[in-house]
């Protein structure tokens, strides 16, 4: 099911959230509490905005808990906006290219959830990606396919609208393929300025997602990295959180349009 | 460009060809003589038929020259029919799933060459693969796409006919996409009984391919593993070699049909 | 803490024990029941005797549960005597050279347990290894050090006597270094003919070890690979099991000599 | 033989030297001109000083030429003092722990060269390392052994004196072991302030080492990263270069004391 965290605020060392807390993301890679699986050992990734417009990416197939490079990098890199993700594969192979976050120009994206019967609709999902973006596809997983499809749906300009449209298309494909499995979607997106996080599912059982604010700093996590009593708020099912530097945090309903079969 | 070898004959230890000769495939991983690149360090693979109908596969992203597992495996495994391949990427990433040989049920396949402007026609090539086979696609490269497309074109029953048809389709896609680059194709296929090897290109510059016979044993290589004077015969451009246990070796013309634009 | 299995008997495919059972060793790599840690994701290894005097070794740093090569190899290789091991590091880094089993000529060896305060006595343990064997040290862990030290103590000829002597020396070093931690030792050794397994600790809490016999076949495991009611016998603490083809199984007391401080 | 570069000066992106130049270090990983081997594909490493006293380290076993993480990291990280190294193993295995640079507190160290008959004197070299430092040994190679031994010889306070003493001890061990092979040593050391580079050998054939100054910026390389005519100066055999921020560059003789056999 994967576990992730996303941070926006004053520049901090990645280690402060990824490595140091009692239930840090590295700890969650072996001992997650709230996911379907306790072990998230099928690779991991970091993405962070620094001095460049494009984010830095470090993705690796080893488990996060034993990666010396991850610890060193997190202790060195300071960022105002970063993602970290530990992966539990739902079927696709363990390659760097299948690890989150994914990057495309200024944007990055990560996901925790599942596309029911993905293999049966994989090619149809890929058909949503225009040729110019299809060249960027390096992995084989569902998340990258959603990301590139949403990029074509206007993700950079309107993350909420784009993912609403893209997920509707994916849901329609699942239904057309006769899938009885759910589409579950906890995700984070950024363009280097705005952080948008999503919690949605087709079966009212979306993956967990929490957030916390401290001054101007916002943290969104699959599960709390420290005491549960420490101010964590769940993001309600079928809602999105939008945070921008200096503009506070909004949590708003997130709806996926009804599947439009004519789309197929 | 990659280097490979294929063996059919009396069961021998893989090490006898992969590790031991002066210019063994492991040696070629760092010091190839006849390829476009001397270094073939972007992963490697072994495939062998043993007691099962399906071949065993060992594919790894490290360079072959430093892989302890490869040496141990080659010294233990004895096979009557096996492939070995060292990879020089032409652009796709270095993952196990992009390493040769590829397996599909009883069949295995490996390739040395290039599909000109592959990224521009990647999706169209993938569209040649029927849904049931598309689920087996684990990598992102051109060879796996050709293999699965050819599987749909009858590869198991008629390797030469199927690849003639599939390459014609790929060539038509390249031309439709305005590619001025060649399609080059040295490849080996087996179903566990018959070994079929191909040497073809659209520009009269196919990758090198040699063969040698010793008694009932047939060896096909990208470049000789020992002295050039030791009985190696080049396979002529646009020819295929077919070997079956107890039935000798045939080398015959291999033609790719004219691109059929209506196919697109 | 690691989990392992050792088999001696009629040649079988490794997959029959490593992959297929409900609680197979691959399953234990993520969901061990009886170890200190449920996750054994810090690499794994196979060792098997085939047609050569030396065993084959396949060791890899990925978790066993996601390794395609492991599954393919286990489905192809048939052996009369093999070891398999999934690793949970107690501190040393995740490298192939630190994965079990270890090989030395015809012998192989694997271990589940710990040497208390290993880092403080590491060099003294290494001093037990004669120069000629020290050249074979490729990793940095305690198990390889015990193996090579025991090789110098006569492991090939007398596994029980040699390990009794070597563990006594290690225990003396721990005591001289003021360690209050235990020495725990569940292990397996073979020379290609005899299988010897050990269950011992300095604190009466040795790692679990079970065995089962079916006809001439003997299986020794850290924890049962199938139903607990299926005939598994625990090996008593401070005992060793010796099995030879055609000669049945003996379980006998295993004593470690009192630490001899003059040894230091 | 390995290739490396070391930079001290105005903070720059690592990519400016590691990735961008025509004959960048990444290019040298496949196409070195002046080393004993053209291919340096047995792992690589980066070390850089940022906001912490300790350097960041990124070391990986893949070849540098295909590592996406390396490119991303180099495009993001800006540093006033950094090392980069591509490795060609002289025998020890390809693990992260054997990749350069090595770190110890504030110090880092990397090397290109060889210790003749290292395996025969490995343990004696390790005996030069005091217990407290021996705990930091994570790999098995000669460079890490020299680094930790020199740390005990005063490397932090007096790099030139310490390495003169340590190399003398190593040379004495080689001679005592009857080695007829040379000790060759091109190396770089820093404590986060001073950069010290060495070029020395016991046989008057030290590995190449060049340097160039542009304003306050100093670059030291195994071989030029751009045009040979672009101001590169060879460091003379048996000399050391010392650079400190704002204090210019000194090149001075570097002598290794006569082997002192009583040391052994």
- What count of CB pairs under 8 Å joins B to D? 33
- Beta-carbon separation of D56 and A78 below 8 A: no
pTM: 0.94
> Within 13 Å of residue C169, how many CA atoms lie on the same side as its CB?
21
How far CA B9 is from CA of B53, B79, B214, B236, in Å, comes to 17, 9, 9, 22
Chains that touch D (3 or more CB pairs under 8 A): A, B, C
Q: Does D140 touch chain B (CB under 8 A)?
A: no
Chains that touch C (3 or more CB pairs under 8 A): A, B, D
Q: Does B95 touch chain D (CB under 8 A)?
A: no
Location of structure tokens 């390829």: B35
List chain C residues with CB under 8 Å of B75.
52, 54, 56
**Banded model confidence at residue C91, pLDDT cuts 50, 70, 90:** confident
pLDDT tens readout for residues D47-97: 999 999 999 999 999 999 999 999 999 999 999 999 999 999 877 889 999
Q: Does B95 touch chain C (CB under 8 A)?
A: no
List chain C residues with CB under 8 Å of A65.
41
* CB nearest to B52's CB, from C52, C57, C76: C76
- Beta-carbon separation of A138 and B96 below 8 A: no
* Mean confidence (pLDDT) of chain A: 93
Cα dihedral D232/D236/D237/D242 (nearest 10): -90
pLDDT of residue B262: 54
**Banded model confidence at residue A264, pLDDT cuts 50, 70, 90:** very low
Q: What distance in Å separates residue B1's CA from the closest CA in chain C?
A: 24
* CB nearest to B63's CB, from D38, D63, D93: D63
CB burial readout B134-156, b (16+ within 10 A) else e: bebbbbbbbbbbbbbbbbbbebe
Residue C149 tokens, joined: 């030290």
Q: Does D96 touch chain C (CB under 8 A)?
A: yes
* CB nearest to D39's CB, from B30, B89, B93: B30
How far CA B129 is from CA of B123, B179, D66, D170, in Å, comes to 10, 22, 29, 62
User: Is the pLDDT score of D264 beyond 60?
Assistant: no
Q: Which residues of D are catalytic?
A: 2
Q: What is the mean pLDDT of residues D4-11?
A: 97
pLDDT tens readout for residues A186-195: 999 999 999 9
Q: Which residues of C are catalytic?
A: 2
Rounded Cα distance between D129 and D225, Å, is 35
Rounded Cα distance between D60 and D45, Å, is 6
Q: Does C193 touch chain D (CB under 8 A)?
A: no
pLDDT tens readout for residues B130-171: 999 998 999 999 999 999 999 999 999 999 999 999 999 999
Q: Does D42 touch chain B (CB under 8 A)?
A: yes
- Beta-carbon separation of C94 and A62 below 8 A: yes
pLDDT tens string for chain B (264 positions)?
699 999 999 999 999 999 999 999 999 999 998 877 889 999 999 999 999 999 999 999 999 999 999 999 999 999 999 999 999 987 788 999 999 999 999 999 999 999 999 999 999 999 999 999 998 999 999 999 999 999 999 999 999 999 999 999 999 999 999 999 999 999 999 999 999 999 999 999 999 999 999 889 999 999 999 887 778 999 999 999 999 998 889 999 999 987 655 544
Choose from B41, B71, B93 for mutation: most chain D CBs within 10 A: B41
* CB nearest to B41's CB, from D63, D68, D89: D63
* CB nearest to C123's CB, from D120, D126, D139: D126
Nearest CA in chain D to C61: D95
List chain B residues with CB under 8 Å of C47.
none
Q: What distance in Å separates residue C64's CA from the closest CA in chain A?
A: 11
User: Is the pLDDT score of A261 beyond 80?
Assistant: no
Q: What distance in Å separates residue C243's CA from the closest CA in chain B?
A: 24
Residue D112 tokens, joined: 């290109």
Q: Does B126 touch chain A (CB under 8 A)?
A: yes
**Of A69-78, B154-163, D125-134, D223-232, where does mean pLDDT reach its minimum?**
D223-232
pLDDT of residue C259: 66
pLDDT of residue C88: 92
List chain A residues with CB under 8 Å of C62.
61-62, 94
- Beta-carbon separation of D41 and B42 below 8 A: no
Percent of chain D at pLDDT exceeding 90: 86
Return all residues near D58 (Cβ < 8 A) that are at least 6 apart: A69, A72, A73, D45, D46, D47, D69, D70, D73
Cα dihedral D83/D86/D89/D93 (nearest 10): 80
Contact (CB, 8 A) for C46 and C84: yes
ipTM of the complex: 0.93
Q: Does B10 touch chain A (CB under 8 A)?
A: no
Q: Exposed/middle/buried for A51, CB within 10 Å: 0-12, 13-18, 19+?
A: exposed
Rounded Cα distance between A144 and A137, Å, is 7
Rounded Cα distance between D103 and D80, Å, is 17
* CB nearest to B76's CB, from C52, C68, C96: C52
Q: Does C93 touch chain D (CB under 8 A)?
A: yes
Rounded Cα distance between C14 and C64, Å, is 14
Class of domain D3-263: alpha beta
Strands B195-201 and B183-190: antiparallel
Contact (CB, 8 A) for A144 and A87: no
Q: Does A238 touch chain C (CB under 8 A)?
A: no
- Beta-carbon separation of A39 and C39 below 8 A: yes
DSSP secondary structure, chain C, as one string: --EEEEEEEEEEETHHHHTSSTT-HHHHHHH-SSSS-S---S-EEEEE--SSSSPEEEEESS-GGG-HHHHHHHHH-EEEEEEEEE---SSS---GGGSSPEEETTEEEEEEEEETTHHHHHHHHHHTS-HHHHTT--S-SHHHHHHHHHHHTTTTT-HHHHHHHHHHHHHHHHHHTT--S-EEEEEEEESSS-EEEEEEETTS-PPP-EEEEETTEEEEESS-SS-TTTT-EEPPTTEEEEE-TTS-EEEEE--PPPP-GGG-
pLDDT tens readout for residues B50-59: 999 999 999 9
Q: Does B71 touch chain D (CB under 8 A)?
A: no
Q: Does D95 touch chain C (CB under 8 A)?
A: yes
List chain A residues with CB under 8 Å of C61.
62
Nearest CA in chain C to A89: C66
Contact (CB, 8 A) for C38 and C32: yes
pLDDT of residue D261: 55
User: Is the pLDDT score of D258 beyond 80?
Assistant: no
Q: What distance in Å separates residue B198's CA from the closest CA in chain D?
A: 29
- Beta-carbon separation of D119 and C126 below 8 A: no
Nearest CA in chain C to A67: C94
User: Is the pLDDT score of A77 beyond 60?
Assistant: yes
Rounded Cα distance between D214 and D200, Å, is 25
- Nearest to residue D241, comparing CAs of D256, D226, D219? D219
pLDDT tens readout for residues D157-203: 999 999 999 999 999 999 999 999 999 999 999 999 999 999 999 99
User: What is the enclosing helix (H) or strand (E) of A197?
Assistant: strand A195-201
User: What is the enclosing helix (H) or strand (E) of A168?
Assistant: helix A159-176
Phi then psi for B194, rounded to 5 degrees? -95, 140
* CB nearest to B78's CB, from C51, C59, C69: C51
pLDDT of residue C264: 47
* CB nearest to B42's CB, from D42, D61, D66: D66
Q: Does D48 touch chain A (CB under 8 A)?
A: yes
User: Is the pLDDT score of C120 beyond 80?
Assistant: yes
- Beta-carbon separation of D39 and B42 below 8 A: no
For chain B, count helices (H), then strands (E).
7, 13
- Beta-carbon separation of D94 and B62 below 8 A: yes
**Of A29-33, A65-69, C169-173, C216-220, where does mean pLDDT reach its minimum?**
A29-33
Q: Does D133 touch chain C (CB under 8 A)?
A: no
Choose from D33, D37, D39 for mutation: most chain B CBs within 10 A: D39
Contact (CB, 8 A) for A109 and A195: no
- Beta-carbon separation of B66 and D30 below 8 A: no
Roughly how many angstroms between the first and final C-alpha of chain C, as a whole number? 28
Nearest CA in chain D to C137: D140
């Amino acid at each position: 099911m994967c576990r992730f965290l996303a941070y926006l605020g004053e520049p901090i060392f990645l280690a402060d959230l990824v490595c140091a807390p009692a239930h840090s993301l590295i700890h969650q890679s072996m001992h997650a509490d709230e996911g379907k699986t306790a072990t998230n050992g099928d690779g991991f990734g970091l993405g962070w905005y620094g001095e460049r417009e494009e984010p830095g990416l470090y993705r690796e197939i080893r488990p996060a808990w034993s990666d010396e490079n991850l610890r060193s990098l997190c202790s060195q890199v300071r960022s105002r906006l970063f993602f970290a993700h530990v992966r539990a594969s739902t079927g696709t192979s363990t390659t760097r290219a299948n690890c989150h976050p994914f990057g495309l120009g200024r944007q990055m994206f990560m996901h925790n959830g599942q596309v029911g019967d993905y293999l049966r609709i994989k090619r149809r999902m890929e058909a949503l990606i225009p040729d110019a973006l299809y060249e960027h596809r390096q992995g084989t997983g569902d998340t990258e396919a959603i990301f590139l499809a949403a990029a074509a749906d206007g993700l950079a300009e309107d993350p909420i609208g784009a993912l609403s449209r893209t997920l509707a298309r994916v849901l329609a494909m699942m239904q057309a393929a006769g899938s009885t499995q759910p589409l579950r979607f906890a995700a984070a997106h950024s363009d280097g300025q705005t952080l948008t996080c999503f919690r949605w599912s087709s079966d009212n059982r979306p993956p967990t997602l929490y957030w916390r604010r401290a001054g101007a700093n916002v943290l969104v996590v699959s599960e709390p990295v420290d005491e549960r009593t420490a101010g964590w708020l769940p993001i309600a099912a079928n809602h999105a959180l939008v945070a921008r530097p200096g503009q506070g945090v909004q949590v708003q309903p997130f709806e996926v349009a009804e599947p439009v079969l004519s789309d197929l």
